[in-house]
Structure formats: structure tokens, C-alpha cells
Chains A and B, each alone.
Chain A
Amino acid sequence: MAQVQKQGVTPLVDMRDICISFGGVHAVDHVSVDLYPGEVVGLLGHNGAGKSTLIKILSGAYQADSGEIYVRGEKATITNPRDARALKIETIYQTLALADNLDAASNLFLGRELVTPLGLVDDDAMEAETRKIMAKLNPNFKKFNDPVSALSGGQRQSVAIARAVYFDAQILIMDEPTAALGPHETQMVSELIEQLKAQGIGIFLISHDIHDVMKLCDRASVMKNGQLVGTVDVDDVTDDDLLGMIILGKKPGAAAD
């Protein structure tokens, strides 16, 4: 598998034999995935296949019942989102996880506010930083003083992306980042992914759009009913192979090691 190809390189993330169940349902059942620097790994599967749950274990929202997580080769204990952030793991959630009543800057820095020497929240400094990063990510973004509830879907998405990118993430989790976006904004996200990849950031991309995955990802891990169907190099498989894995839960013979 991938380890063979990337011998000698330590994976950024190595999740081994992860299990979690909710009330008897095995949402994630002995799943192992890994991620290398500068690589995009797609996580594919139906709704309820367990991909979001798996990734929430990495981002600290859930805690695994069993299994181990290694980050940059070292065993990591991630019990809450703060731990994940400290390990330079950033997440863009499908729901975006924005506080609608706060403005863009407050959301971007939520949990990591810039403070003045007196320890007070420095709104002006945060707004200035937000303006800087938005100028790069989405130059059309102008509503810095409005609550994010007043923003369009694409603008909200850029706030969520800015929040993940601003803090020098090394591991980025994107859960359906283009689900709510128009074609133009989807293109912007694709370009951003290429750009981040070139900087050596590892990205887990959760999607159920096979075309997205074929275009953006290096490898794809497919899940079904909480179990890992298999991980394949995207170059070695066709759309139909991936579809077969998602629907039938069968690994294509050609892509097997």
C-alpha cells in the first residue's frame, strides 16, 4: 500500500485500528488510514458510512473507543478540539461551525483570540488580520462588521476556510468543503487545495463527489458501514472502480497490492 511507495517518510497522520460505537452501532469499525505531507487523501462513502465520524475523532470532537493515532510519528492523545489544534490539525466542518451572531474576525479567532497586553480581546487587531487573510482567500469579502448570519454561503465558507488556514495548519480536514458552493467558488477551493498541497500540508478531503476526488486527491480511502473497504491510488483506478467500492464494498482486483 502507500507505505511501500513512501518508504522512509514519516506519515503526518497515522490512525490505526480505530473503533467507535454509539449505542451498539459500530460507526467506525477497525479502520486505519494515513496521510503524508503534501498529499490529499479522499475519504469516500455513502451518508452514514462513518467518514465524518472517523475524522471527528482526529479533530477531537469524538474520542475513539479503541485504536491509536500517531501524528508525525509520535503517539498522540486527542481528547478535545484544543488538543487537535495544538497538534496543528485544523478542521473545516460540513456545518462550518460558525457562531452566527459574531462577526468574521470573532469567528476566525474563536478560542484563540488576540489579546492586548492587559489581556483584553483585541478586536481591531483581529479585524486587521482577518482583512489580510481575506484579501488573499476571497478578495470580494467586504462584510467585516456584520454577524456571519448576514453572509452568503460562499462568504461563510471562506470564513471557515480562513480559520483553518490562518493558524499554519499542517494537517487539514475538509468535510464536504464545496457542498454549499457555486461553480466559481468551488473552483477557488480547488485552487486553494492545490496551493496548500504545494506547501506540504496534508489534507483529508471528505466528499461524496467522485469527480472531485479523482481531480484533487492522490489517494482515496473508501468506507462502507463503518468499515474500510480499501485505500487506492487514484491514478490506478477509474471512476467506476471507486463507485464499485462505494456501492458494493468490493476492492477492484487491479488496485489491490
Chain B
Amino acid sequence: MAQTDTNSGRAPARKNIFHTLEIDLRLLGMIGAFIAVCLVFNVLTDGRFLTPRNIFNLTIQTVSVAIMATGMVFIIVTRHIDLSVGALLATCSAVMAMTQTDWLPNAMGLEFGHPLIPWIAIGVGLLSGLVIGAFHGYLVGYLAIPAFIVTLGGLLVWRNVAWYITSGKTIGPLDETFQKFGGINGTLGATGSWIVGGLALLGALYALYAARRNKVKHGFPVKPVWAEFLLAAIIGAAILGFVAILNAYEVPTRVLQRTFEQAGLEMPEGYTQSYGIPISVLLLIFLAIAMTIVARRTRFGRYVFATGGNPDAAELSGINTRWLTVKIFALMGALCALSAVVASARLTNHSNDIGTLDELRVIAAAVIGGTALAGGIGTIHGAILGALIMQSLQSGMAMVGVDAPLQNIVVGSVLVLAVLIDIVYRKRTGGA
């Protein structure tokens, strides 16, 4: 609604097609930038960038940063910052790795491979993240230490707590079920992916219908019917296209052969199998929907944006902004733990440097995605798109063979440029 909508309806004179469709122009700009990045790299890599295989890899590489970026939106919207997310991810990852490989098997007598192990480990990890995040929030909200300082300290503390817990060793391999959250080791397959895609399509159509019905009920102006249908068609094509691409990435023949051999079977001639949607990507999609609902449709989300827009007004409206700060940082901590599940599962082990520099990637993703550091403005989908743009740049340059230092120089420059464009855009449209 208002907090994301900085342009539509501003000038009644601007009755173009985007206005009619009620599409956020800024979102469109980001999608445009993303498509441009993809097309340029596709040309530079002779078509290797936009293959199902690379798109599959891009999505699973983006998930970990994207999960944390959704939480960073709330942090930045309330005019705070969290520099400790990478370190916190490492601590949560270390706790989960130690829980499943050492503490549960050795101290609790639960054998490695026991079906309960991954779930207990994830639970312990989420709880750790939640508690540490809440502690940060307490220091910021109740003791009034600037978030920059609290989380800068946290960066050092939690990075080294992880080191201390694991004695700096790489811990692995992790539980097999746990590894399914990493990406390539856990996918839905072709049929499962189509079912999920179909459900997503039905859900999206229902959401469009319900929104329109509600507006009609209250007698508000609605989009023309053709616009609704066009929007539905675009959304439908995007969902089903995404599923089709991921399903087009097939498991390499030699991997299949090995699987059949392990099972003691002969692989049938011409047998193929698709990867489909990775579980980690599905997790991100569910999280994105949940966080969007939290941001737009819950009191908590409303208070986050109100506090970011005008902290005094929020306080005078009876919002307990200190407790709100604790909740926001606790949520960020839990999301770091969730990212830790995905990141360590993707690597199949916990390594000492996991999540290094993630704080910068996460902040950059949120900011490129349109979250204003001055507070009050930001969207979940923007942050995820920001993460995707960053990851595309990084992998694209790696595929083209750009030297590592140059890659980081480009990514850093893009961050600054993105904020500049955003400032200019906001001035032009008169947005906050």
C-alpha cells in the first residue's frame, strides 16, 4: 500500500498503461535492470548464462542472502542497521553442525542419521538466532546503544563464537535430510514442481479476485477488467515459465547411472529426470509471501513502517517502539539461522568462513531493492530482486572470466550507483 507505493496516483494526468495496471514503476525498473544484466551476460557468455542449468544455480545461490535481506528490510526501514548477519549466520551454522554431529550423538546418545536429528538441529539453530537477535534488539531498543555499534561488536563476537564452538574445524558431512535444504541435493522433481506451480497459480488468481471483490464491496475504484486479465496472464506466465525452466534442467546421465548402480539396477535406455524446484527456493518463496503479509497486513508490519516514517509519531500513537525493536532484531536473528540452514546444507558442511561478508551482500541487496536508509520505505520483493541482481552480476562476471578483484569493484560501484539512481528517481517523482 502506501509505504511501497511512491508513484501511482500521484499525478492524475499520468494515465498510462502502468498506471492502469497499478504496477509499481520502481519495481518495473528493477526487473528491467535484472533482465538487462541477464541479456548482456548471455551475449558475453555465448548463451551459457541463460541456460536452465545456470538459472537453477543462480536461484540456489541467491537464497541464503535473499532470506536475510527480507529481514534486513525491516531493520533498515526502522532506521537501524545490522552488520552482524554474516557472523550470526556462522554462529547458528556452527551450533547446528555441532548439534547434529557431536552434541546429539555423543551427549544425548542419538545416533548420527537418526530421523529426529536434522529437525532438532534446525530448532536449536533457530532458537539461537532468535535469542541472539533479541539480545541485540534489547541493547538497541532499551539501552539505546546505536545499532551500528551493537552489530559491529556482534560481527566480531559471533564470528569468533562460531570459531570457538567448532575449534575452527570444518564440520561435516551434515545429516542427509538436513542437506536437502541446500539446493541441488533437495529438489521437487518435475511432477512435484508442476503441482507447486499450479497451486501457486491458483493462489495468485484467488488473491487478485479477492482484492477486487473487497474493493467493490467498499465501493472503491477498481482496475478495468481487461487490466485484471492482463495482470493475471503476466503472473501466470511468470510462474509457469519459472517452473518450466527449472524442470528443463535435467539430472546429468552419469549421476543417474550412479544412482541406479547404487540401487543395483540397470538404467533404462533414454531415462531422464528433472531437478525441478529446489526446496531452498520453495522455502524462500514461502518466506517471501509470509514476510510480505507481515509487512503489509499485520500490525507489527504497520508499526515497523510507521516507526521508520516518524518515530515520534509512532510513540505518540501508543506504539511501544522499544519492544518493537527487540522483535525486529529477533526476527532478523531467526532469519540468519534459516539462512544458515540453507548455506551450510548447500556446502554439505559447516566451514569456519561461512557467511563471511554476507552482511554487506545483504545490506546491498536490500538497498538495491529500494529500501531507503533514511527509513520508512522498502519492500520484501525488492530486497529479493536486489539479491538476485547482485548474484547475477557476480556469477555472470565469474563466467565471463573477469578477475576476482574487478568483480568486487563492479559490485561495489553498482551498489553506489543504484542508490544514486534511487535518489534521483525519488526527487523526480516527489516521493518521500
Binding site for B on A (CB under 8 A): 59-61, 80-82, 85, 91, 93, 95-103, 106-107, 110-113, 115, 119-121, 123-125, 127-128, 143, 145-147, 149-150
B residues 293-348 with Cβ under 8 Å of A?
293, 296-299, 301-303, 305-310, 312-320
CB pair B308 A110 closer than 8 Å: no
Query: How long is the Cα–Cα vector from A111 to B316 in the complex, in angstroms?
Result: 9
Residues of B within 8 A of A81 (CB): 315-318
Q: Which residue of B lies closest to A118 (CB)?
A: B297
CB pair B315 A145 closer than 8 Å: no
Query: How long is the Cα–Cα vector from A256 to B432 in the complex, in angstroms?
Result: 52
CB pair B316 A102 closer than 8 Å: no
CB pair A102 B298 closer than 8 Å: no
CB pair A146 B309 closer than 8 Å: no
Most buried by B among A93, A110, A124: A110
In the assembled complex, 17 residue pairs joining A and B whose CB atoms fall closer than 8 Å, in A order, are A59-B316, A60-B318, A80-B318, A81-B318, A99-B307, A101-B432, A102-B3, A102-B305, A110-B314, A112-B318, A113-B299, A120-B293, A120-B297, A124-B214, A143-B9, A145-B2, A146-B9
B308, B315, B317, B320: the one within 8 Å of A101 (CB): B308
CB pair B316 A99 closer than 8 Å: no
Q: A101-B2, A111-B317, A125-B218 given as contacts; is B309 within 8 A of A150 (CB)?
A: no
Q: A111-B319, A120-B298, A147-B432 given as contacts; is B3 within 8 A of A95 (CB)?
A: no
B430 within 8 A of A: yes
Smallest CB separation, A199 vs chain B (Å): 24
Query: How long is the Cα–Cα vector from A153 to B9 in the complex, in angstroms?
Result: 19
Query: How long is the Cα–Cα vector from A147 to B305 in the complex, in angstroms?
Result: 12
Residues of B within 8 A of A93 (CB): 316
Extra inter-chain contacts (15) besides given A60-B318, A80-B320, A124-B215, CB under 8 Å: A81-B315, A82-B318, A99-B306, A99-B376, A100-B432, A101-B432, A102-B302, A102-B306, A103-B1, A111-B319, A120-B297, A121-B299, A128-B218, A145-B8, A149-B432
Top 5 closest pairs, chain A to chain B, by CB: A103-B2, A101-B309, A99-B309, A101-B376, A82-B318
A91, A97, A115, A128: the one within 8 Å of B299 (CB): A115
A97, A124, A128: the one within 8 Å of B317 (CB): A97
B220 within 8 A of A: yes
Smallest CB separation, B384 vs chain A (Å): 21
Query: How long is the Cα–Cα vector from A106 to B431 in the complex, in angstroms?
Result: 17
Q: Is the interface of A mostly helix, strand, loop or mixed?
A: loop
CB pair B220 A124 closer than 8 Å: yes
CB pair B313 A98 closer than 8 Å: yes
CB pair A124 B217 closer than 8 Å: yes
Query: How long is the Cα–Cα vector from A169 to B212 in the complex, in angstroms?
Result: 34
B377 within 8 A of A: yes
B9, B297, B317, B432: the one within 8 Å of A121 (CB): B297
Residues of B within 8 A of A96 (CB): 313
B250 within 8 A of A: no
Query: How long is the Cα–Cα vector from A138 to B340 in the complex, in angstroms?
Result: 53
A59, A85, A106, A121: the one within 8 Å of B2 (CB): A106
Query: How long is the Cα–Cα vector from A99 to B8 in the complex, in angstroms?
Result: 19
Residues of B within 8 A of A85 (CB): 318
Query: How long is the Cα–Cα vector from A102 to B376 in the complex, in angstroms?
Result: 9
A59, A95, A110, A123: the one within 8 Å of B312 (CB): A95
Query: How long is the Cα–Cα vector from A61 to B312 in the complex, in angstroms?
Result: 10
Residues of A within 8 A of B297 (CB): 120-121, 123
Query: How long is the Cα–Cα vector from A174 to B307 in the complex, in angstroms?
Result: 23
Residues of B within 8 A of A103 (CB): 1-2
Smallest CB separation, A128 vs chain B (Å): 5
Smallest CB separation, B324 vs chain A (Å): 12
CB pair A145 B9 closer than 8 Å: yes
Q: A99-B305, A100-B310, A121-B298 given as contacts; is B2 within 8 A of A147 (CB)?
A: yes
Smallest CB separation, A78 vs chain B (Å): 11
CB pair A97 B220 closer than 8 Å: no
Q: Which residue of B lies closest to A98 (CB)?
A: B313
B15 within 8 A of A: no
Residues of A within 8 A of B6 (CB): 147
A106, A111, A115, A125: the one within 8 Å of B1 (CB): A106
Residues of B within 8 A of A145 (CB): 1-2, 5, 8-9
Smallest CB separation, B304 vs chain A (Å): 11
CB pair B220 A127 closer than 8 Å: yes
Query: How long is the Cα–Cα vector from A110 to B214 in the complex, in angstroms?
Result: 21
